[in-house]
Structure 1
Amino acid sequence: MSMLSNPAQKYSAFPQVDLPDRQWPSRRITTPPRWLSTDLRDGNQAIVDPMDSAKKTRFFDLLVEVGLKEIEVGFPSAGETEFDFISGLVRSGRVPDDVLVQVLTQSREDLIRTSFASLEGARAAIVHLYNAVSPAWREIVFGMTPKQVIGVAVAGAKVMRDEAAKRPETDWHFQYSPETFSTAELDISLAVCEAVMDVLQPTPVHPIILNLPATVEAATPNIYADQIEYFIRNLPNRESAVISLHTHNDRGTGVAAAELGLMAGADRVEGCLFGNGERTGNCCLVTMALNLYTQGVNPALDFSDIDRVIETVEYCNELPVHQRHPYGGELVYTAFSGSHQDAIKKGFAARETQNDTGWRVPYLPIDPADLGRNYEAVIRVNSQSGKGGFAWVLEQDQGLKLPKAMQADFSPHVQRLADELGRELTAEDIWQAFRKAYHVKTYPKHFQLLDYEERRSTDGTRLFSGTIAVAGQQQSVSGRGNGTISSVIATLRDSFDLALEIVDYSEHALSTGSDARAAAYVLAALPDGRRVWGCGIDEDVATAGVRAVLSAANGAVTVA
């Protein structure tokens, strides 16, 4: 078998919804939906080794911690392990008063009764009833007519009603899903939901939850939004229903479909953290919540420590969160490209000088710090990187703010190292390369400052005197100039016949590094026109300047 040259022989385009006056395209999402996590049910049935009770309990605690108020905790009729976990969770007192647990059941009397039994003693709970309604399932799986499918749902709803009545101490909430809604005829979905509502008699004060799942994502998100808007417009007693969305990611647009479904009038979104679920997964609650966050909407979910959330999810699911997963992936805030690095670096620099609190940093749709990420990992260096990349790393790791011309001078050193190693460069790699290139905090072959003193002469000039080691041999030196830097230049000329002219000098305080408080940079010109850079780091800013001149002097001798 191979891909068909004419796929229309086998596959047909999904039909459009006849909704010429659709309203959802002009709407915005301004408030968060009600969220339901189905990690412990949809997510759990989609992993190779389902979670044991300890893992499910740990996951449940995480969901509560990040702010989920509705959590589908399992399928109690699936087996003893599942039933025991749910009933134990209810009895443990672990469920906060403001959190609703939900269980799922097919529309079969024995399964429904088991589901209610698992929630015995709960303060409040949701029982979620479902049956498939679309043509492929009706005709191929069950061999039923639409009328018979509706009958199955009604029979299940009656059992739900009666079981709830036996346990008046619990505040029962009902949810019904016409499973496979996204591939079903809209009029049949409306008919089955209306029939269930007739049995359960919801009110605006105590509404039913109608979940409209894209059980298999079969069309573009706009069609799903049309389906939701059409359903809502034509549902009798709409004010007594909470419209919930349960999208899957078969076409890669599960989050987009849920967002458009909210624009179409839905109230609630079901999904899993980082999108785990059958086949290609469910709607990713992290992505959708943080999409809202970046649009200025508080999602009412807290991912301030996203790495700890990832750690728990990966442990419980035994599945990795992809490095490129939106917002949470290890590399989503990382730039290797030189042009990207330069833009990000400029964005951060602009924030330091502007009073605007709005977030505007190129290539970063969200501030990584809001999610507990640090800035050190934003820019990383490999053979594809530019000078902005290693300059950022040096600034974050060592506190050095290299002049732009010095960045260009150092760039070939970094590029050669990246090519030699054939891998991403670490901050330590870059720092050691910088030390080697500019003889910083090393023991250079030529000029090494051992000690010095400076004093002002009666004529206003400054006298530099000290000890410099050359090739390991100590030598007493002195020189006179108008200032510290010029007196060191004079010392190099008089004692070592090395002529340097300072073309540029800058210095700054260091914010990083426990053994240094200042850094100085010099650009020196040689008589033959060549230019060399030097850098000095010291606790004392004046000494940092002296070291920078000697750094340039070592560079001048090395290239001679």
Structure 2
Amino acid sequence: MLADPSRKYPRADVLSLAERNWPANTLSQAPRWCSTDLRDGNQALVNPMNREQKMRLFERLVQCGFKEIEVAFPAASNTDFTFVRELIEQKHVPEDVWIQVITQSRPDLIERTLAALQGAPRAIVHLYNATAPLFRELVFRQDKAATIALAVRGVTQIRDHCDTHSHTDWVLEYSPETFCFTEPEFALAICTEVIETWQPSDARPLILNLPATVEVNTPNVYADQIEWFVSRLPVTEHVTISVHPHNDRGTGVACAELAMLAGATRVEGCLFGNGERTGNVDLVTLALNLYTQGISPGLDFSGLRELVALVEECNGLPVHPRHPYAGELVFTAFSGSHQDAIRKGFAEQARHPDAPWRIPYLPLDPADVGCDYQAVIRVNSQSGKSGAAWLLEQNHGLQLPRRLQQHFSRRVQEATDITGKELPVAEIWALFRQEYGLTEPARLTLVDYASESGDNGLTLRAKINTNGEHISLQGHGNGLLSAMMDAINHHYGLSLDIVDYHEHTLGQASRSKAVAYLECRHGELSRHGVGIDTDSARAGLQAVINITGAALADQFPR
């Protein structure tokens, strides 16, 4: 790289706008959406979509709610031409959906494009020609007058065709390419000539599409250009201002949002940002940005994972795991502090289910886009106590006491440090069962018990199974657990004291199982045990027995 790149890469021109209104505006409604996946996105693929893939994607775009879909460049290939004909002849286009096709301003290409639309009930014809000085001077060797004349001839040809084919509802779209580095005065002049030629009306609307075909500056500059243009446009009735941002500087979504603040009411782009070079503006991200600000986007992405799979199949390109909203890992936290915050947020949300969504690190509820909560927290060596506890709660209904969370997190840390990899839920559950006496067959299991209360407290008689042999125990205490502990200590010569005890049911049903969490101390050291049973009392007694089994197996203390 050059130490001083300024001579090779001079700064792009910045529009001087003394007063601007867009920074004070706020977004309050969604734009008109136009998907260009089947045209702009398709032309950027290594292997363009075949007919079956294009049809499947078209149908899914309709299901998502797109009312304007750019389906092809009919003059570019027989495949595109045939696809448009099939959509029309086989009546695949719903009555509220407009298909859009694109053409350069050349008579032969326009003629072929219009032929593809023969018999269409509704159609948008997207006409463009290069207006930026780089293209005028370097590529086409054409002055401004010739550039305007080229646009006017194209519009006139389309207008004459529309007049003689009035059975179709027509909309013209015109793009000065590329608007973002065309001189503002010239962009306005050529669009004014297009307006004069087309004569937009209620029956024949006009879309002026102002593309950032190649990003060359920051999004605020693009917004200034849009506001400057809109404020000086001689005719606004029946004219829609559309934008088509690309992502060369990584700011395509920001360009679209700021352009909307500046007066654009229509956005063209692709699902997940597919398109030439770095891609078009990502319509999914843009729509869900609005959604998470309480604005209905008018598009339905409730089956986002399925949509990702379809687009990946049709495009032959993966959606990045960190892609906003749609990536496999975007709802996932590995960090311990993040996991703790998310877990507390979900707990608070459960107490107030009708309250606004306020979960740390999750601006969108995964359920709104068809994702479950299984992937929200995953455990590796970076995770803390909350990660494994969350997974056990979500998958097995366990609500671990804080001290047990801390103890088990150390066991999980040891396991992940050894492998250096993520610990799946099944392995976390296996480790938990092994650690706290829930493996089968257990070393010791409660067979039966009976208790009676007297003046001196409670007497417990219990029968336990140890390796197939039944052993009878008897103990005294203030309650069942203390009496069982007394019996265990006397029979096995231990000195265990109960430090902490918690229990809860697993589920809401009356026949749900109960789980008991017990912490015992032996001198300065402690051990945790867990018991699960259909009866809460038996669950607590089994937790005592599970700690005893660990002690007798020389696993105590840890």
- TM-score of the aligned structures, taking structure 1 as reference length: 0.96
Shift of 1:459: 4.8
For residues 399-418 of structure 1, the aligned pairs below 5 Å read 399-418=397-416
Aligned match of 2:23 in 16, 22, 25? 25
* Distance (Å, rounded) in 1 between the aligned partners of 2:88 and 2:538: 68
Is the 8 Å Cα contact of residues 447 and 465 (structure 2) preserved in structure 1?
no
Shift of 1:508: 1.0
Shift of 1:471: 5.3
Local SS of the residue matching 2:110: helix
Shift of 1:507: 0.7
- Structure 1 residues 114 and 205, CA gap change in structure 2 (3 angstroms): closer
Q: Are 1:330 and 2:328 an aligned pair?
A: yes
* Distance (Å, rounded) in 1 between the aligned partners of 2:401 and 2:61: 47
Aligned partner of 1:530 in structure 2 is 525
Local SS of the residue matching 1:400: coil
Shift of 1:529: 2.5
Aligned partner of 2:537 in structure 1 is 542
For residues 5-404 of structure 1, the aligned pairs below 5 Å read 5-203=3-201, 206-354=204-352, 357-404=355-402
Q: Are 1:492 and 2:488 an aligned pair?
A: yes
* Distance (Å, rounded) in 1 between the aligned partners of 2:391 and 2:353: 25
Local SS of the residue matching 1:129: strand
Shift of 1:458: 5.5
RMSD of aligned Cα (Å): 1.8
Shift of 1:470: 3.5
Is the 8 Å Cα contact of residues 397 and 512 (structure 1) preserved in structure 2?
no
User: What does the per-residue CA deviation read over 1:309-356, in whole Å, with 9 as the maximum and x for residues that have no partner?
Assistant: 111111111111110000000000000011111111111111122365
* Distance (Å, rounded) in 2 between the aligned partners of 1:370 and 1:508: 30
Is the 8 Å Cα contact of residues 399 and 513 (structure 1) preserved in structure 2?
no
* Distance (Å, rounded) in 1 between the aligned partners of 2:450 and 2:477: 11
- Structure 1 residues 340 and 514, CA gap change in structure 2 (3 angstroms): farther
Is the 8 Å Cα contact of residues 466 and 478 (structure 1) preserved in structure 2?
yes
Bigger shift: 476-485 or 308-317? 476-485
- Structure 1 residues 515 and 9, CA gap change in structure 2 (3 angstroms): farther
User: What does the per-residue CA deviation read over 1:273-328, in whole Å, with 9 as the maximum and x for residues that have no partner?
Assistant: 00000000000000000000000000000011111111111111111111000000
Aligned partner of 2:450 in structure 1 is 454
Shift of 1:465: 3.0
Bigger shift: 419-428 or 261-270? 419-428
User: What does the per-residue CA deviation read over 1:108-142, in whole Å, with 9 as the maximum and x for residues that have no partner?
Assistant: 11111111111111111100000010011001110
For residue 127 of structure 2, what is the amino acid of its counterpart?
Answer: L
For residue 150 of structure 2, what is the amino acid of its counterpart?
Answer: V
Tell me the number of residue pairs that the alignment of Structure 1 and Structure 2 aligns.
Answer: 555
* Distance (Å, rounded) in 2 between the aligned partners of 1:55 and 1:17: 43
Local SS of the residue matching 2:451: strand
* Distance (Å, rounded) in 2 between the aligned partners of 1:346 and 1:136: 56
Is the 8 Å Cα contact of residues 169 and 203 (structure 2) preserved in structure 1?
no
Shift of 1:516: 6.2
Shift of 1:207: 2.5
Local SS of the residue matching 1:456: strand
Aligned match of 2:547 in 548, 552, 558? 552
* Distance (Å, rounded) in 2 between the aligned partners of 1:401 and 1:340: 19
For residue 554 of structure 1, what is the amino acid of its counterpart?
Answer: G
Is the 8 Å Cα contact of residues 129 and 176 (structure 1) preserved in structure 2?
yes
* Distance (Å, rounded) in 2 between the aligned partners of 1:21 and 1:240: 27
For residue 548 of structure 2, what is the amino acid of its counterpart?
Answer: A
Shift of 1:462: 4.0
Q: Percent identity?
A: 51
Bigger shift: 226-235 or 202-211? 202-211
Is the 8 Å Cα contact of residues 172 and 204 (structure 2) preserved in structure 1?
no
Q: Are 1:481 and 2:477 an aligned pair?
A: yes
Shift of 1:66: 0.5
Provide structure 1 residue ranges, at least 5 long, that are not aligned to the other structure.
none
For residue 224 of structure 2, what is the amino acid of its counterpart?
Answer: D
Provide structure 2 residue ranges, at least 5 long, that are not aligned to the other structure.
none
* Distance (Å, rounded) in 1 between the aligned partners of 2:30 and 2:206: 19
User: What does the per-residue CA deviation read over 1:88-109, in whole Å, with 9 as the maximum and x for residues that have no partner?
Assistant: 1111111111000000000011
* Distance (Å, rounded) in 1 between the aligned partners of 2:164 and 2:190: 25
- TM-score of the aligned structures, taking structure 2 as reference length: 0.96
* Distance (Å, rounded) in 1 between the aligned partners of 2:91 and 2:429: 53
* Distance (Å, rounded) in 2 between the aligned partners of 1:25 and 1:485: 67
Is the 8 Å Cα contact of residues 100 and 125 (structure 2) preserved in structure 1?
yes
Shift of 1:474: 3.3
Shift of 1:450: 4.1
Bigger shift: 351-360 or 339-348? 351-360
For residue 559 of structure 1, what is the amino acid of its counterpart?
Answer: F
Q: Are 1:511 and 2:507 an aligned pair?
A: yes
* Distance (Å, rounded) in 1 between the aligned partners of 2:152 and 2:282: 32
* Distance (Å, rounded) in 1 between the aligned partners of 2:105 and 2:50: 26
- Structure 1 residues 369 and 486, CA gap change in structure 2 (3 angstroms): same
Local SS of the residue matching 2:137: helix
Aligned partner of 2:498 in structure 1 is 502
Shift of 1:163: 1.2
Shift of 1:245: 0.5
Bigger shift: 164-173 or 451-460? 451-460
Shift of 1:144: 0.3
For residue 427 of structure 1, what is the amino acid of its counterpart?
Answer: V
- Structure 1 residues 285 and 157, CA gap change in structure 2 (3 angstroms): same
Shift of 1:461: 4.5
* Distance (Å, rounded) in 2 between the aligned partners of 1:513 and 1:46: 55
Is the 8 Å Cα contact of residues 116 and 164 (structure 1) preserved in structure 2?
no
Bigger shift: 104-113 or 456-465? 456-465
